[in-house]
Amino acid sequence: MKIKVFREPAKLQKWCRARKLAGAKIALVPTMGALHDGHMSLIRAAKRRGADEIVVSVFVNPVQFGPNEDYEKYPRDEKADLAKCAAEGATAVFFPTPANMYLDRHSVYVNEEDLSRGLCGGRRPGHFRGVCTVVAKLFNLAHPDFAVFGQKDYQQAQVIRRMVRDLNFDLKIVVAPIVREKSGLARSSRNAYLSDAERGKALAISKGLGELKPGSSLKALSRSLEKAGLVVDYVECVDAETLEPRKMPKKGCCVLVAAFCGKTRLIDNRVL
């Protein structure tokens, strides 16, 4: 079956509603495009869970970017994204435009006010407001039985779970493991910005996280990143559920890293 392509929110919504009424199990895979193996693993996770329809949304959501961030230069390649989705077995792709997602005088936003305060939320004001708003809209458009997110964006996954719980969205959140390159580097669309030399430096992140043990020093991890030539945005250990700060890594914690490699901000994490 040929993959369906939707650009109009109302058309996607109509089709998903009809498929749902016909008894289809719908999976949503929200993405910002520039699809890589990590995204493909989300589509595969949807397949494994028996979805009849797998809807991949590809939308670089302006509302989640800060004024000095990479919204303009974020990689976009619709043709390649469509081909990858089709090859992996997605059944529909949604390519909306900012103008049809955010109508003139759009004025309603979703704010999560607990889990989004620290980590990336603390450094990127408004980021999770943008994420929650667009994801809530996608849920309303696609009527998914479940939606699949990647663990690389650990805080995002927790924030979205909370949104689903607190706003009574009738769907399940599936979080798929981080997919890494052979070198260990976590797959990210932003890796496309890295030069070869920067890729070498970036490896310090996955290496450092991989070597962590209960009781390891976060300061030492931070120093090893700086030594490799990265500029640390944060290295933090939090409770894996509540995201409350913990002094040192131990079981049930998540250690999260955000660091600049040149101009590129990379994130990675490890649950102990």
CA 229/CA 202 separation, integer angstroms: 9
- Which of residues 16, 19, 27, 30 is near ligand PAF by CB under 6 A? 30
∠ at Cα 118 (116, 121), nearest 5°? Answer: 50
Token pair of 23 as six digits: 């008894």
- Which of residues 61, 116, 151, 269 is near ligand PAF by CB under 6 A? 61
Q: What are phi and psi of 2, to 5 degrees?
A: -70, 140
Among residues 39, 106, 127, 143, the one annotated as catalytic is 39
Least separation in angstroms between CB 31 and ligand PAF: 5
Least separation in angstroms between CB 218 and ligand PAF: 25
Annotation marks residue 39 as catalytic: yes
Is residue 40 near ligand PAF by the rule CB under 6 A?
no
Residue with Cβ nearer ligand PAF (151 or 156): 156
Q: How many residues bind ligand PAF (CB under 6 A)?
A: 10
What is the C-alpha R_g of the chain? Answer: 19
Is residue 41 near ligand PAF by the rule CB under 6 A?
no
User: Interface mask (CB under 6 A) for ligand PAF, residues 161-200, using x and -?
Assistant: ----------------------------------------
Least separation in angstroms between CB 46 and ligand PAF: 14
Least separation in angstroms between CB 216 and ligand PAF: 28
**In the range 132-151, which residues lie near ligand PAF by CB under 6 A?**
134-135
CA 169/CA 217 separation, integer angstroms: 39
CA 164/CA 132 separation, integer angstroms: 10
- Which of residues 16, 26, 55, 64 is near ligand PAF by CB under 6 A? 64
Least separation in angstroms between CB 43 and ligand PAF: 14
Kindly list the distances between the CA atom of residue 19 and the CA atoms of 113, 164, 229, in Å, as whole numbers in the listed order.
34, 22, 51
SS3 171: coil
- Which of residues 12, 31, 257, 266 is near ligand PAF by CB under 6 A? 31
Instruction: Decide: 90 and 43 in contact? Cβ < 8 Å.
Output: yes
CA 50/CA 174 separation, integer angstroms: 13
| Closest to 161 measured CA to CA, from 109, 101, 115, 110 | 115
For binding to ligand PAF (CB under 6 A), which residues are involved? Answer: 30-32, 61, 64, 131, 134-135, 153, 156
